[in-house]
Structure 1
Amino acid sequence: MSLLFKHLRAHQVFGANTDVGKTIITTALVRASARSTNVHYLKPVSTGPLDDADDKHIKRYAGSRRVQADCLFRYDDPVSPHLAAQLSQRPSTPSDETLVNTIANYIRRSAAASQGAHMYIETAGGVHSPTLSGTTQAEAYRALFLPTVLIGDSRLGGISTTITAYEALLLRGYIIDAVLLFRDAYYRNSEYLTPYFAEKGVWVGTFDPPPPKAANDQENFAITEKYYDRIVLPRNGNQGKDAVDSVLHAVDHLDKCHAARLAELESMPRRTLDTVWWPFVQHGLVKGETNVTVIDSAYSDFFSVYKPSPSPSASPQDASLLTPQFDSSASWWTQTFGHAYTPLTLAAARAAGRYGHVMFPQATHLPALRLCEGLVQGPGRGWAKRAFISDNGSTGMEVALKMALRAFTRRVRADREGKERLGVLGLTGSYHGDTIGAMDACEADGVYTCEWHDAKGVWLEPPTVAIRQGEVYISLPPALHPEEGRVDVRADSLQRVYDVQGRLDSSLARLYRGYVEGVLKGLEERRRGGDVSVPRLAALVLEPLVMGAGGMRFVDPLFQRVMVDVVRSGKEELGLVPGKGGEDDWRGLPVIYDEVFVGLYRLGLESAGPLLGAYPDIGVNAKVLTGGLVPLAVTLAKQGIFEAFWGSGKESALLHGHSYSAHAVGCEVAVEALKEIQRMRGSGTWKEARERWEVGPTEDEGKSVWSFWDPDFVKAVSCAKGVEEVMTLGCVLAIKVKDDAGGYTSHSANKTFASLKDILRGENTISAAPGGAPYEVHYRTLGNVAYFMTSLNTKPEVIRSVEDRIWRVLEQSG
């Protein structure tokens, strides 16, 4: 992960191409820096004869004892690093992780050894030249996120290669502090590139090219020394027209960039507290600037967070101002492949460059069309015929509600008064978003409401599933056993609980069915008797399997299946309406699945439909849909729902949308994300996780449940002192802390896991963050529930490391 030290100014040097003078200019930078401070030079990978090695050139021409030059991985063949590694016949090729960790450790040692120094890390070849593993350098070194100096190409075609290299780095988020290149009197690339980059705020330095190499080694040394002396001008030396070309000016600029970055990071907490209004945060509880998390960058599953004061127990090598933090909420459940995932970044750029944003009504473009087709044939397979694109999960649910209410009112021919008294059937603790309509589809006493909230519906308390003391239990709410209160039913296994089809004839199914039918019948009798407080139910709205914001409550899937079956019975005495027949029709009530959180494999399942054995009439996907890069939502619907808006007048159309409806960038990113998800389904990581949970191949994924979290770890946590229960599916792990008060406003989980935000040290500590640094865990809680979430491609070693952290914290708190 990114490293930043106050007294070590480090820059990575990339070349626009091979043989552009990268080592020559880097040597000049080293010499200029060595005039005033110590300098560390690192060549991570070197290929070719030792006599031609870049670090040897640095040692020969550094001009000062203040310079230390090193190389980490050296190969004899003068070819691309990946090929050199293959030809070396060594037992193994260092992985990208090994390469990055070795570089990071070198930087830390250099920082610990210096009270003040400059550092230059010179890459090999061009920006996309391969590393030893074959990954391009721009990709492999992104984990380090070091400020960059780009050496431009002064040769024929160099304008194009320099700009291309710059854009390749920019697309991956690199900070490019300077572009440096030689002047060429014939091609004059620098004359074009200087104003080009100046318009983008990038500093450009141009220097005379080196003289031709002399045949005699002693003479060559002399003329090379003279050349370096000429371009590294003394500060009070030549004040003529060439003074601006001094490499000292480049060093001064890089120093200013380093100082400006430090100052910006230091100022951000105060500026934030003075200006920003956060979501879901009580500002009255934020006690000063130290409570503001300053995220400098993010990569893979980790934030890189600014910490101006390292821990007192930190070793000198751990004194970086940037600390890795595991993003254990997957940034509010959005991250699919971790942060800064290049395929999605390129997809966004591809669509932005081709379309920008274009109007969508009565139009089409490939990203939107492919997305709609992909979702109808994916999670909508077998039931959905239409896809409506909106901007986020809450809006997607508003669209779903509009669809359901229109379909219902057209069938029952409700008048205006009847329309105003429509409501939904749902579960207590539901959450469908923060727009007004989505809030109205939740109960009145929920925490996610506002003064204008008007709860429209009826909500049933659901039975839930959890693991306690190593055993699986289904907890039945008092409504199901009024005389006994809450009743816990022990289950054989999680697989048995989620075998919905096999449980349909069980006594619990009959209990659930009687309860749901009894509630609906009682409501209908009251409504027909003139009770104006009872709404006419017009839709069933469910968060399948897990109610996320409501406390990570894992609902007994059988209960949700029974709810769907009951409303689809079409019994008029329950306030339901019959269907018209056909697989594209809905009957009873339109059924909405809010899969904004749980959909697209967040729980290890593409959709809850196959597991429940019942598909919705309307479904909503978001969050995972775009991999956490841009907001987007899609509402899927049956043909029968779509036909409720069919007519000859515009007033009967679905008049819902926003200016950025079906924006091409979001659609293209979503299409790319869906491709990546399908690729990952067959990965060894998924196979290994499924095997640990004794689950078969992916072909059976719709009928079985599993988790990326280790089953033995989950069982152990469920037995830990202070833990009431634990539950997991797919990426999600939820730990409920024992707390008599409980509820969303409780601080018990936050208090229990507070030390996760500290650096954990010890002989057995696993360090899994990029760069091998000790890390913290950035987590969120829901009252007395702490939840932790992986991406779909989080490395097993990272998950094991986080499990180790969680277990240590529970041991300490117990």
Structure 2
Amino acid sequence: MKTAPAPLAARSTQGSHITLTDGRSLVDGVAAWWTACHGYNHPHIRACAEDQLKRMPHVMFGGMVHEPALRLASRLSAMLPGDLERVFYTDSGSVAVEVAMKMAIQYRLNRGETNRTKLLSFRGGYHGDTLATMAICDPEEGMHHLFAGIMPSQYVVDLPRDNASTSAFEAFLNEHAHEITAIVVEPLVQGAGGMLFHDPAVLRRLRDAADRHGLLLILDEIFTGFGRTGTMFACEQADIVPDIITLSKALTGGTVALAATVARRHVYEAFLSDNPEHALMHGPTFMANPFACACANASLDLFETEPRLEQIAQINLLLREQLEPCRTLPGVKDVRVLGAIGVVEMEKIADPAALRTRFIEEGVWIRPFRNIVYLTPAFTITPDELSALTGAIHRVLSQGF
């Protein structure tokens, strides 16, 4: 609060634009932290939201159920691969991951495997800001390193990307698998850790290792789910099925908070028991909020009726074409694109706040972090709007940032 520049005051949003209270309009390059996949204020989502708001904005989900939640769970289980069919609702991505962790640990406890309670995650990973999720993020992650030694200790290793890291990963599992319940990974893209990409072969390697060592595989698709990497879910590109998957962000099309942790049948069955203590005792107050579920159902309608994956493919082509010239600019280390994600990696960004200010002056909303400038636009963005974003990046970075 003492050092950060004053935040901008937003007045309204529409499509890929944010209008400020001073009248300026910015093209949004990050889609409200990757959530507004259909653009802001899509009329179908708004109509469904208004209808649900009139009928029942909320009711407790303890001992009650309602149609929006049931329909959404059925639709998610139908569109996810394999037998990912048991849906647990929460109200944020971090909590969805917390529930996945809790589920994986209690899965062992319910089976009497009381020594297998550790989680294994990867450097460069990011899974949320709540206390348990911080423990599976990269230990050097800028927001969390102050808590090192305070949080519950988990295992964090290098992703098995190549022969050397794969050998180290296998050696680690040979020594520690008997303590571990699950592997947790962001598939294809480690988002907040720096938009770090990896090949689908890495996910197949993790699935194989999990099967050989009797581990659960948890995929954190909070960022990657719902089309961001070019397929509805990133795991499709590796042709694998995780044991647990977490979803949020674009789930409601950026309208309101909602998250889901979805488990395969064999995980669910470990909680079925005559002993009430074997139940998953977790109950967020606003879990399965009907208003949020209605918005999520409306978002899924749009994926079914509008050409989102084709739009993503077109965004991918334009990002590749328009960001590639940045590769020759001073200080640029790499340019990479996957699905509707475009990244210009710098050697360093000395003053991110000043860089953000320059982008605002160019009429775009882009928020660099660490050493990267990235775009994750709405899938409905127009070619001209996308060109405004990529052109601003090239112009600003060519000035020496």
Deviation (angstroms), 1:299: 1.4
Contact 1:440-1:453 at 8 Å conserved across structures:
no
Task: Give distance in 1, aligned partners of 2:311 and 2:206.
Answer: 35
User: Aligned pair 1:363/2:68, yes or no?
Assistant: no
The residue type equivalent to 1:717 in the other structure is C
Task: Give distance in 1, aligned partners of 2:135 and 2:313.
Answer: 41
Q: Which aligned pairs between 1:375-394 and structure 2 lie closer than 5 A? A: 375-378=76-79, 380-394=80-94
TM-score, normalising length: structure 2: 0.92
Task: Give distance in 1, aligned partners of 2:308 and 2:246.
Answer: 25
Aligned equivalent of 1:151: none
Residues 1:748 and 1:710: Cα distance change in structure 2 (over 3 Å) = same
Contact 1:596-1:622 at 8 Å conserved across structures:
yes
Aligned equivalent of 1:190: none
Contact 2:247-2:259 at 8 Å conserved across structures:
yes
Task: Give distance in 2, aligned partners of 1:382 and 1:596.
Answer: 19
The residue type equivalent to 1:434 in the other structure is D
Q: Which aligned pairs between 1:105-504 and structure 2 lie closer than 5 A? A: 283-286=1-4, 291-306=6-21, 321-378=22-79, 380-414=80-114, 418=115, 422-449=117-144, 451=147, 453-462=150-159
Deviation (angstroms), 1:719: 2.7
CA deviation string 1:43-77 (max 9, x = no partner) = xxxxxxxxxxxxxxxxxxxxxxxxxxxxxxxxxxx
Q: Which aligned pairs between 1:19-38 and structure 2 lie closer than 5 A? A: none
Task: Give distance in 2, aligned partners of 1:654 and 1:751.
Answer: 47
Aligned equivalent of 1:756: 359
CA deviation string 1:624-670 (max 9, x = no partner) = 00011100001111111111111113221111111211110000100
- 3-state SS, counterpart of residue 782 of structure 1: coil
Work out the percentage of aligned pairs sharing the same amino acid. 28
User: Aligned pair 1:559/2:202, yes or no?
Assistant: yes
Deviation (angstroms), 1:777: 1.3
Task: Give distance in 1, aligned partners of 2:235 and 2:197.
Answer: 16
The residue type equivalent to 1:666 in the other structure is A
Contact 2:128-2:134 at 8 Å conserved across structures:
yes
Task: Give distance in 2, aligned partners of 1:594 and 1:299.
Answer: 29
CA deviation string 1:226-282 (max 9, x = no partner) = xxxxxxxxxxxxxxxxxxxxxxxxxxxxxxxxxxxxxxxxxxxxxxxxxxxxxxxxx
Deviation (angstroms), 1:294: 1.0
Residues 1:297 and 1:752: Cα distance change in structure 2 (over 3 Å) = closer
Deviation (angstroms), 1:688: 4.4
Task: Give distance in 2, aligned partners of 1:431 and 1:790.
Answer: 20
User: Aligned pair 1:723/2:327, yes or no?
Assistant: no
Contact 2:81-2:241 at 8 Å conserved across structures:
no
Contact 2:72-2:297 at 8 Å conserved across structures:
yes
Aligned equivalent of 1:608: 234
Task: Give distance in 2, aligned partners of 1:362 and 1:396.
Answer: 21
CA deviation string 1:589-635 (max 9, x = no partner) = 11100000110101221112221122100001101000111000011
Contact 1:723-1:736 at 8 Å conserved across structures:
yes
- 3-state SS, counterpart of residue 2 of structure 2: helix
CA deviation string 1:313-364 (max 9, x = no partner) = xxxxxxxx41011222211111112222221122112112112211223432
- 3-state SS, counterpart of residue 802 of structure 1: helix
Task: Give distance in 2, aligned partners of 1:721 and 1:394.
Answer: 37
Aligned equivalent of 2:279: 653
Contact 2:48-2:295 at 8 Å conserved across structures:
yes
Task: Give distance in 2, aligned partners of 1:715 and 1:443.
Answer: 29
- 3-state SS, counterpart of residue 27 of structure 2: strand
Task: Give distance in 2, aligned partners of 1:349 and 1:636.
Answer: 27
Deviation (angstroms), 1:408: 2.4
Contact 1:386-1:637 at 8 Å conserved across structures:
yes
User: Aligned pair 1:777/2:364, yes or no?
Assistant: yes
- 3-state SS, counterpart of residue 364 of structure 1: coil
The residue type equivalent to 2:86 in the other structure is R
User: Aligned pair 1:678/2:304, yes or no?
Assistant: yes
Contact 1:393-1:633 at 8 Å conserved across structures:
yes
Contact 2:136-2:156 at 8 Å conserved across structures:
no
Contact 2:100-2:218 at 8 Å conserved across structures:
yes
The residue type equivalent to 1:779 in the other structure is I
- Give the number of equivalent residue pairs: 399
Residues 1:443 and 1:513: Cα distance change in structure 2 (over 3 Å) = closer
Deviation (angstroms), 1:753: 5.8
- 3-state SS, counterpart of residue 127 of structure 2: coil
User: Aligned pair 1:734/2:387, yes or no?
Assistant: no
Residues 1:727 and 1:294: Cα distance change in structure 2 (over 3 Å) = same
Task: Give distance in 2, aligned partners of 1:813 and 1:425.
Answer: 40
CA RMSD for the aligned pairs?
2.3
Contact 2:230-2:312 at 8 Å conserved across structures:
no
Task: Give distance in 2, aligned partners of 1:732 and 1:709.
Answer: 11
Task: Give distance in 1, aligned partners of 2:310 and 2:151.
Answer: 49
Aligned equivalent of 1:516: 169
Residues 1:666 and 1:456: Cα distance change in structure 2 (over 3 Å) = same
Task: Give distance in 2, aligned partners of 1:339 and 1:357.
Answer: 23
Residues 1:385 and 1:682: Cα distance change in structure 2 (over 3 Å) = closer
Looking at CA atoms only, which structure, 1 or 2, has the larger radius of gyration?
A: 1
- 3-state SS, counterpart of residue 726 of structure 1: strand
User: Aligned pair 1:793/2:357, yes or no?
Assistant: no
Task: Give distance in 2, aligned partners of 1:550 and 1:782.
Answer: 9
- 3-state SS, counterpart of residue 371 of structure 1: helix
Task: Give distance in 1, aligned partners of 2:372 and 2:310.
Answer: 31
Deviation (angstroms), 1:393: 0.6
TM-score, normalising length: structure 1: 0.47
Work out which structure has the larger RCO, using CA pairs closer than 8 Å and 6 or more positions apart in sequence.
2
Task: Give distance in 1, aligned partners of 2:291 and 2:350.
Answer: 39
Residues 1:560 and 1:412: Cα distance change in structure 2 (over 3 Å) = farther
Deviation (angstroms), 1:375: 0.5
